[in-house]
Amino acid sequence: MSLSISRRDLILGAAATSLLAGCDNRVSAAFLKGMEHWNERFQAALFSPQRLAPELPPGSETPERAFPNYFISDFQPEMPPNWTLKVGGMVAHPASFTLDQIQRMPSAAMRVRHHCVEGWSAVAAWKGVRVSEIAKIAGLDPRVRYVEFRSFDSGYWSSWDLPSAFHPQTILAYGMDGHPLPPGHGAPLRLYSAVKLGYKMVKYLTEVNFLPDRTGGYWEDQGYEWYAGV
Amino acid sequence: MMHSTAPPSTAPPRRDQPFVIRLTHWLNVPILLLMAGSGLEIFRAYPNFGPRGSLYRWYPFQGVQPPSFLRVGGWLAGGRHWHFALAWFLVLNGLIYVAYLFASGEWRRRVFIPQRDLAGAVRMFAFYTRLTRTPPATDFYNGLQRLAYSSVIAIGIAMILSGLAIYKPVQLHWLTALFGGYDGARVFHFAGLCLLGMFVAIHLIMAAAHPREIVKLINGGAKPGVPVDKPS
């Protein structure tokens, strides 16, 4: 029996071993960055603006004490006096809205599963106004491609692609499980969406900016993926 | 004595381990190690099964994190980047293997066909568990080998589908529903990892017991038409 191992076999073996070793840090970082871009294109291609997350039956809500509520401040952020939501960027009518004004806009509601980047899921019913509705009121410049959301939680923020922000299940929520949004979950107003991971949904909103260029976010700037669709 | 270099039969003779099979087999080693390691890094962020507020009672290891030497990526974001990057190579490698398997006809001597292989698989199992003393007659692979290699491909496909179900529980909600929802798909995905781990453990023991098979998986085995035992 022949026991010879060809040069081609050795080269292939070496290539596989170096891939396993992760090669140089810069090489693997560039590889992962490239694959992240590829995955972002894949996710955007898979995204359908019409496809809805399944609505869950009444009573399927997670007990609220079991629904984690994360914030980055040392203490639970408190709504500043005279809170308003500032809508700006490349819009025809920049404006500030009180909570009362927002609650008088056409509302949307959904009871859907929440998906956290950590791997847990939970269910809640949300009520609010669609981001697309806000955009309609503000009057978008045709160059707008992204939306940025900012908060009073120590500057926590995120930015979104326009199609995900305009999904019918992407809302600025002021109601949760049939009552006003509790302080732990982002009172008075938070972003909620069925089509993104939790860290994209900015709580304690202060600003919505419609922009032509992509910006980042609190976790995104630290290395978490920007698109984060589900 | 002269040896004929012409193929002896109508079917073209093949090496035991053709190049594509060797290539895809060895590429699986780094890909699967990185997939398992990064998967465990992701799992560490929520080492539980079941949604918040109603963890599954049947899982006895709720909250137990996988040890650091099994994890790849350093932190959750790193684990996710590795996992979603390498997943493409796993799929690509698997597609090349399966396409070659059927295009080349290799499937005939490798895929588990119950009518042909079931009895032999049972007898081989009886031999390994020392219920019988003599192994069954075996051709290229024995029935139990074919069962194991075919099962691991089925597990691989289930891993990719359950992984997609976790990755896209809204865009692919029909797929997620097939696995019993998001938290069900996580269970399937983890169970698949356990089964793959068991396969690899037995595979390594069997390979250690048959080192000639490892050599064949590197050099391909004897070339067709070339005499197996060369006179020196």
Q: What ipTM was estimated for this complex?
A: 0.89
What's the token pair of residue B12?
Answer: 């073209």
Number of domain units in chain A: 2
Q: Is the same domain home to A61 and A118?
A: yes
Q: Which residue segment(s) compose the domain that A133 sits in?
A: 47-222
Average pLDDT over residues B135-149: 91
Q: Is the same domain home to A26 and A132?
A: no
Write down the residue that tokens 């290395």 correspond to.
A223
Contacts of B78 in chain A (CB under 8 A): 223
Average pLDDT over residues B188-194: 98
Q: What is the mean pLDDT of each run of 10 residues along chain A (230 residues)?
A: 54 58 78 97 97 97 95 96 97 98 98 98 98 98 98 98 98 98 97 98 98 98 97
CB within 8 Å: B76 and A117: yes
Tens-place pLDDT, residues B27-62: 999 999 999 999 999 999 999 999 999 999 999 999
Measuring CA to CA, which residue among A117, A151, A143 is closest to residue A210? A143
Average pLDDT over residues B222-228: 69
Q: Is the same domain home to A125 and A81?
A: yes
Q: Which CATH number covers residue A178?
A: 3.90.420.10
- Chain A nearest C-alpha distance from B84 (Å): 7
Q: Which residue of B has its CA nearest to A19?
A: B30
Element housing B198 (H / E): helix B182-209
Element housing A81 (H / E): none
CA distance A119 to B42: 8
For the four alpha carbons of A22, A25, A31 and A34, in that order, the dihedral sign comes to positive
Q: Please report, rounded to a whole number, the percentage of residues in chain B having pLDDT higher than 90.
A: 84
CA distance A45 to A22: 29
Q: Contact at 8 Å (CB) between A10 and A194?
A: no
**Is residue B2 over pLDDT 50?**
no
* C-alpha dist (Å) from residue A32 to A110, A165, A223, B87, B88: 36, 26, 11, 12, 12
A90, with CB counted inside 10 A (0-12, 13-18, 19+), is middle
Q: Contact at 8 Å (CB) between A200 and A160?
A: yes
Per-residue pLDDT at A21: 56
Per-residue pLDDT at B138: 85
**Is residue B6 over pLDDT 50?**
no
- Cβ density class A26-56: b for 16+ within 10 Å, e for less: eebeebbeebbeebbebbeeebeeebebeee
Nearest to B53 among A46, A116, A122 (CB): A122
Start-to-end CA distance of chain B, whole Å, equals 12
Measuring CA to CA, which residue among A165, A74, A84, A184 is closest to residue A124? A184
Nearest to A62 among B51, B75, B77 (CB): B51
**Is residue B224 over pLDDT 80?**
no
Per-residue pLDDT at B223: 82
What band does B1 get if pLDDT is binned at 50, 70 and 90? very low
**B22 shares contact with chain A (CB less than 8 Å):** yes
B 36-75 → A contacts, CB under 8 A: 42-43, 45-46, 48, 51-54, 75
Residue at A136 is within a domain: yes
Nearest to A66 among B22, B29, B53 (CB): B53
What radius of gyration, in Å, describes the C-alpha atoms of chain A? 22
Contacts of A219 in chain B (CB under 8 A): 77
Q: Is the same domain home to A157 and A57?
A: yes
A64 vs B11, higher pLDDT: A64
Q: What integer best gives the mean pLDDT of chain B?
A: 92
Per-residue pLDDT at A4: 54
**B210 shares contact with chain A (CB less than 8 Å):** no
Per-residue pLDDT at B81: 98
Q: Is the same domain home to A74 and A146?
A: yes
Q: Is the same domain home to A144 and A191?
A: yes
Could you list the beta-strand ranges (E) of A18-145.
Answer: 85-89, 95-97, 108-115, 121-130
Per-residue pLDDT at A3: 46
**Is residue B5 over pLDDT 60?**
no
Nearest to A195 among B26, B43, B170 (CB): B170
Q: Is the same domain home to A40 and A57?
A: no
